[in-house]
Amino acid sequence: MPSISQRGIDMPASPIRKLVPLADQAKANGTKVYHLNIGQPDVATPQVALDAIRTMDRSVLEYSPSEGIRSFREKLALYYETFKIHVSADDIIITTGGSEAVFFSFMAALDPGDEIIVPEPAYANYMAFAISAGAVIKTVSSTIEEGFALPSVEKFEALITPRTKAILICNPNNPTGYLYTQKEMNQIRDLVLKYDLFLFSDEVYREFCYTGAPYISAFHLEGIENNVVLIDSVSKRYSECGIRIGALVTKNEQIKTSVMKWCQARLSAPLLGQIVAEASLDTSAEYMLEVYNEYVERRKFLIDGLNRIPGCYSPIPMGAFYTVAKLPVDNADTFCAWCLSDFSYEGQTVFMAPASGFYTTPGLGINEVRIAYVLKKEELAKALVVLAKALEAYPGRQL
């Protein structure tokens, strides 16, 4: 039998989805599973988006341009302007979700062996896309004890070699919910300038910032306009994960030219998804505020509840809709699997993502989980009770 590729062997399994078979089996056994593992919002998709599907009047569902529908890109540029991100339609390439934007960025900017510095814990798929591109992720570790604040400049510089090509950040952060400060963003800018690096900035959660401070985009940083590649998606802000529409935004002409080759090779992003996403840009301010306020309430409810469970600790996330929590367990991977395969409380259990999968440094995150507060407070309340009961019963409990 022929062997598979080394890339296929090295490709990490998703820490978010790898326990799905256990969850499916628990459901088949009649157990209610509270899904805290994945960033799938339960809020309704905007009505204008749903109406765009229902009222569509087309006789042919054709290929769209490889860079995306022009009217959508023009409208998206106006949307960015409301955040003081000054770009044109020609700086925007529509992608099949934010994931494809990350992958195409890596393919366009990085050669095999080139290195990317990423603060960890980080969105697990970054590692997968780096492996696909033959690039190397070098991580600089943030800690739960410091609220996952950006590590010092000295720690970044200690990792820089002649092969270092880029820094990648997610702001607000997935999985930690951390929101970078102006000072931290300026430190990143200075490193990018000093070492002539690309800055890949994943900003898909920009609508969900819970501090009084203004949102800081990589495009707000002066002097690195041609170094920035912004990653975006409509999945989270409009609860449209399934339409698979994202965007890659850059003023760097060489990156755009290179990315377009990958876009042409995959022909086009989903036509129906673009139609829905373009309509979503007319979503009312009332909808956006209602969703924002809902997440603010869920965040407070969840964090308060977690920190009342003996042995648990979670810092207060300042953005997105995730938190990383430390649990009194010997191994969070084992605990999360045990919750699905061996535990239930009154016919219920919880599904969380082990945080070790968001680190590349061995041993880190071993007793941490990522929790997505994408369920209503009533559901979160039940999930917190079940989690507390699971921790009481778990054989590997540690205090």
The CATH code of the domain that includes 378 is 3.90.1150.10
DSSP 134: T
How does pLDDT run across 339-348, given as a tens digit for each residue?
999 999 999 9
Task: Mark whether 262 and 311 lie in a shared domain.
Answer: no
Beta strand spans in the chain (E):
32-35, 92-95, 115-120, 136-141, 164-170, 198-202, 228-233, 246-250, 322-326, 348-351, 353-354, 368-372
Q: How confident is the model at residue 238 (pLDDT cuts 50, 70, 90)?
A: very high
pLDDT for residue 261: 98
Q: Which pair of structure tokens corresponds to residue 280? A: 């979503």
The phi and psi torsions of 354 (rounded to 5 degrees) equal -60, 130
> How far is the C-alpha of 71 from the C-alpha of 78, rounded, in Å?
11
> How far is the C-alpha of 280 from the C-alpha of 271, rounded, in Å?
14
The phi and psi torsions of 368 (rounded to 5 degrees) equal -120, 155
pLDDT for residue 28: 97
Q: Determine the longest span between alpha carbons in the chain, in angstroms.
A: 64
Q: Which domain holds residue 183?
A: 47-280
Task: Please report whether residue 399 resides in a domain.
Answer: no
Task: Mark whether 70 and 40 lie in a shared domain.
Answer: no
3-class SS of residue 166: strand
Q: How confident is the model at residue 14 (pLDDT cuts 50, 70, 90)?
A: confident
Q: How confident is the model at residue 44 (pLDDT cuts 50, 70, 90)?
A: very high
What proportion of the chain, given as a percentage, has pLDDT over 90?
93
The phi and psi torsions of 63 (rounded to 5 degrees) equal -60, 145
Task: Mark whether 379 and 342 lie in a shared domain.
Answer: yes
pLDDT for residue 17: 79
The phi and psi torsions of 275 (rounded to 5 degrees) equal -60, -45
Last residue of a domain, one of 280, 301, 322: 280
pLDDT for residue 212: 83
How does pLDDT run across 64-90, given as a tens digit for each residue?
999 999 999 999 999 999 999 999 999
The helix (run of H) or strand (run of E) holding residue 133 is helix 124-133
Q: How confident is the model at residue 397 (pLDDT cuts 50, 70, 90)?
A: confident
Task: Mark whether 104 and 248 lie in a shared domain.
Answer: yes
Last residue of a domain, one of 230, 260, 280: 280
pLDDT for residue 344: 97
Task: Mark whether 67 and 188 lie in a shared domain.
Answer: yes
Q: Which pair of structure tokens corresponds to residue 152? A: 């010092």
pLDDT for residue 346: 97
Q: What is the CA radius of gyration of the chain?
A: 21
pLDDT for residue 214: 82
Task: Mark whether 368 and 315 lie in a shared domain.
Answer: yes
How does pLDDT run across 136-195, given as a tens digit for each residue?
999 999 999 999 999 999 999 999 999 999 999 999 999 999 999 999 999 999 999 999
Beta strand pairing call for 198-202 and 228-233: parallel
How many distinct structural domains can be found in the chain? 2
Task: Please report whether residue 398 resides in a domain.
Answer: no
Q: What's at 295, amino acid-wise? A: Y
How high does pLDDT run on average in the chain?
Answer: 96
Task: Mark whether 137 and 261 lie in a shared domain.
Answer: yes
Task: Mark whether 76 and 158 lie in a shared domain.
Answer: yes
SS3 track for 231-270: EEECCCCCCCHHHCCEEEEECCHHHHHHHHHHHHHCCCCC
pLDDT score of 15 more than 80? no
Task: Mark whether 224 and 143 lie in a shared domain.
Answer: yes
More confident residue, 231 or 215: 231
Query: How far is residue 53 from each of residues 47, 56, 336, 353, measured CA to CA in Å?
Result: 10, 5, 38, 33
Place of tokens 């009312």: 284
pLDDT score of 48 more than 80? yes
| Cis? peptide before 315, omega within 30° of 0 | no
pLDDT score of 396 more than 90? no
Task: Please report whether residue 1 resides in a domain.
Answer: no
Task: Mark whether 81 and 220 lie in a shared domain.
Answer: yes
Last residue of a domain, one of 280, 299, 317: 280
* CATH label of the domain that carries residue 239: 3.40.640.10
pTM of the shown model? 0.95
pLDDT for residue 7: 82
